[in-house]
A and B are shown apart, each in its own frame.
Chain A
Amino acid sequence: DAKTTQPNSMESNEEEPVHLPCNHSTISGTDYIHWYRQLPSQGPEYVIHGLTSNVNNRMASLAIAEDRKSSTLILHRATLRDAAVYYCIPNSGNTPLVFGKGTRLSVIA
């Protein structure tokens, strides 16, 4: 599995964009980049995933560097409900998802 590096914590003001970075310099060519988040007292929640090109869905955008060694999850307008631990997980599908420590995002009203 590719090793990932994420900030332990980040803070954002409500209604402002948030950029959550992830370094995965040992990623293999077949690894998708998955992002999950875990809100307090809940199970993890799928956010987005991509392989090479940038991806958008109703929750977020995923920007993947050209060399694929890093990616950024973008929340366009943070709300209080977005306060959670965000996990970046490179995975090809041949092995189980490995959840690291993630980034704890705090959103300030």
Chain B
Amino acid sequence: DSGVTQTPKHLITATGQRVTLRCSPRSGDLSVYWYQQSLDQGLQFLIHYYNGEERAKGNILERFSAQQFPDLHSELNLSSLELGDSALYFCASSVGLPPYEQYFGPGTRLTVT
């Protein structure tokens, strides 16, 4: 158990809908990262927050947004969902800024039908 929690574990929704994925980092960790893992693309970095501020952005679609709240939990919002958004979404946390090691949550499996 990494200490990072993600909810929900599974999510099934229809195209065009909007969902919110939630991540609670390990106690004391200030950095939160979001990744997407699909079969054809592998593990792709989406976005990094540090103590409430956005620090880095990867290939995150404009339909996707994230934020980190004062209690350090983070949410990833996915809107206008498409079939291709079906994937595993992982959240990771680290105590500070890179290159500190990242601890990953168990992931949220999103299925868009």
Taking Cβ atoms with an 8 Å cutoff, the residues of A that contact B are 32, 34, 36, 38, 42-46, 49, 91-101
With both beta carbons as reference points, the residue of chain B lying nearest to A101 in the complex is identified as B42
- Which of B43, B97, B99 sits near A44, CB closer than 8 Å? B43
A46 near B43 with CB under 8 A, answer: no
Whether a CB of chain A sits under 8 angstroms from the CB of B11 is no
**How many Å from the CB of B106 to the closest CB on chain A?**
6
- Which of B4, B42, B56, B106 sits near A99, CB closer than 8 Å? B42
Whether a CB of chain A sits under 8 angstroms from the CB of B2 is yes
- Which of A34, A38, A46, A93 sits near B103, CB closer than 8 Å? A46
CA distance A96 to B56 in the complex (A): 7
Whether a CB of chain A sits under 8 angstroms from the CB of B53 is no
Whether a CB of chain A sits under 8 angstroms from the CB of B49 is no
A49 near B48 with CB under 8 A, answer: no
- Which of A42, A93, A100 sits near B99, CB closer than 8 Å? A93
Enumerate chain A residues within 8 angstroms of B2, measured Cβ to Cβ: 43, 45
Listed A/B pairs (14) with beta-carbon separation below 8 Å = A38-B43, A42-B106, A42-B107, A43-B2, A43-B90, A43-B92, A43-B106, A44-B90, A44-B92, A46-B102, A49-B99, A93-B98, A96-B58, A100-B42
The total number of A-B Cβ pairs within 8 Å is 52
Given the known interface contacts A43-B104, A46-B101, the answer about A97 and B45 at a Cβ–Cβ threshold of 8 Å is yes
Enumerate chain B residues within 8 angstroms of A99, measured Cβ to Cβ: 35, 42-44
**How many Å from the CB of A18 to the closest CB on chain B?**
21
B99 near A92 with CB under 8 A, answer: yes
CA distance A99 to B2 in the complex (A): 19
CA distance A99 to B46 in the complex (A): 12
Enumerate chain A residues within 8 angstroms of B33, measured Cβ to Cβ: 96
Binary CB contact string for chain B from 81 to 107 against chain A (1 if under 8 A, 0 otherwise): 000000000101000011101111111
Given the known interface contacts A43-B92, A96-B58, A97-B45, the answer about A32 and B99 at a Cβ–Cβ threshold of 8 Å is yes
The list of the 5 closest CB pairs from A to B, nearest first, reads A43-B104, A93-B98, A93-B99, A99-B43, A46-B101
